Amino acid sequence: MTATKANNIKLLALDIDGTITEEDQTIDINTILALQKLKHNHPSTAVSLVSGNTLPVMVGIRNTIGVGDILFAENGGVMMSYLERSPSNLDCLEKNNLLTLSRGTIIKRANILRFFDRVLPEEELKKIKERHDVHEFFTNKWRETSLSIEIDRAIVPDIMANAGDAEVQDSGYAIHIMNPGQNKGFALTTMMNFLNITEKEILACGDGGNDLDMFRVAAYSGTPNNASKEAKNHATYVSSKNNGRGLVDILSHYELL
């Protein structure tokens, strides 16, 4: 696909693990500098970090790299906005019936919205533990809408096949147990309505299976070379470089640097 002009991109949605971070989960200084340069040169482009990780972890990453207008944690479960328009004003979401997708009451606190709860993920994890040995991530103590586990990859298909009403995704870093409708595509649709933009004004970057839902919403998408085969097949641009260097290459391809 021909590169779109930078002034057409109103939302840049970035996965963190494997896209911003290196293989050892550190962040290269050149990646940080490129993201800060992008924000300086294109202040009207909202940059969102969209991850399966928890909100506290994402706030720390956002404050370290100096970029992140909107944080969408837990694969679309929790949203935090640093923009002047606080999401506590839900008119833009209510008119598009996005709030009806929640299993329960939307939880609002300051500039944070929680769209789902943990009831179904906890029920699903209990069933999984009856069949398999699993290791829970210690960050589950901070999760509000999902749960994440490590497990033998050979039995992941069994877990997904027997997930029932829960949505189970493999990001390559963890197995995420979530609510139906909870995914990164939901995150992008929510932000699209919140910012009053279209899919043609979104660039999504990611590397794993849980990023496919973003790619299905955004008109433009990119993956670093370390991405899964499935992610590469769905992206509109695949970099020849890995991790953060791949992200910088993607941003250059779409004329944001």
Do 237 and 222 form a contact (C-beta atoms < 8 A)? yes
Joined tokens for residue 70: 């909107």
Q: Which residues does 219 contact at the CB level (< 8 Å), separation at least 6? A: 4, 198, 199, 200, 201, 202, 236
Do 120 and 166 form a contact (C-beta atoms < 8 A)? yes
CB 170: neighbour CB atoms within 10 A?
18
* Active-site residue, from 15, 170, 207, 211: 15
Q: Quick check: is 15 catalytic?
A: yes
CA triplet 27, 31, 34: central angle to 5 degrees?
155
Taking Cα atoms as reference points, which of 206, 200, 209, 201 lies closest to residue 238? 206
Helix axes 243-253, 29-41, angle to 10 degrees: 20
| Cross-strand bridge partners of residue 128 | none
Q: How far apart are CA 51 and CA 183, in angstroms?
A: 10
List, by residue number, the catalytic residues: 15
